[in-house]
Amino acid sequence: MSDIDSHREPDMQRSRSTASWVMLAILGAIVCIYLGLIVGGRALGLFPAGGRPGAHPAVGRALTYLKLQPLTGDAEPVTLDDLRGQTVLLNFWGVWCPPCREEFPHIAALAEKLKDDPKFRLLSVSCGQEADEKNEIDGLRSATQTFLLHVHSRLSTYSDQSAVTRREVAMTLEEPRFAYPTTLLLDGQGVIRGVWLGYGAGYSEQMEQLADELLHPAAK
């Protein structure tokens, strides 16, 4: 072997080693990006948590606390005891939240479709941003009314003062953060039967399908 070849061989080995490390780094970055998209997307509602519509690890758990105050329309104070025997769609949203505004017409349409069923109840909870919400019920009411007028909706809404019910929901779902919008479907015993985090195309159809299954079990 010539002196040139003997010098070239270590250089080639170093090049191959460097290339291998570069490929490993690229693969590692791809894996991290993929996992980040899946985890982040699930929190935003971009990817369903399971194959069945509304599936989530919290399905089957009972919500143990709920207390909401009237905000707009003919809403009245409501607690978990007031909802016994009813199928409840509990929707947390905010006028400041773009996915919430996109979802709202679909929720309102679903409420209109099921309004004549005495066993169905929609609780539309308008939420302010955390930094502004503590003692700003008047501001929340004004912003919500302005939004409802803009979208030509007469849907009654509720407030969750001090976010007490949201904290209970977050603990029950065991999610790292509270996503907006968040929607739960509860059966007549207050057991969670469906969970939707964020907004996605087809979510309202899933909500309607599961609500119909609860409202008309004999038909399934």
pLDDT of residue 49: 39
Q: Given CA atoms 146, 147, 152, 158 in this order, what sign does their dihedral have?
A: negative
Whether residue 191 contacts residue 174, with contact meaning beta carbons closer than 8 Å, is answered with no
CA 22/CA 172 separation, integer angstroms: 43
By DSSP bridging, strand 120-126 and strand 87-93 are parallel
Q: Give φ, ψ of 157 to 5 degrees.
A: -130, 160
218: left (phi over 0), alpha (psi -120 to 50) or beta: alpha
pLDDT at 40: 38
Pick the CATH number of 67-219 from 3.40.228.10, 3.30.70.270, 3.40.30.10, 3.90.1150.10: 3.40.30.10
Binned average pLDDT, 10 residues per bin, the chain of 220 residues: 51 55 49 37 38 77 96 95 97 97 97 95 93 73 96 96 93 92 96 95 93 83
**Is residue 59 within 8 Å of 185, Cβ to Cβ?**
no
For 157-191, the pLDDT digits (tens) are: 999 988 999 999 999 999 888 999 999 999 999 99
At residue 50, the pLDDT reads 38
- What confidence score (pLDDT) does residue 58 get? 93
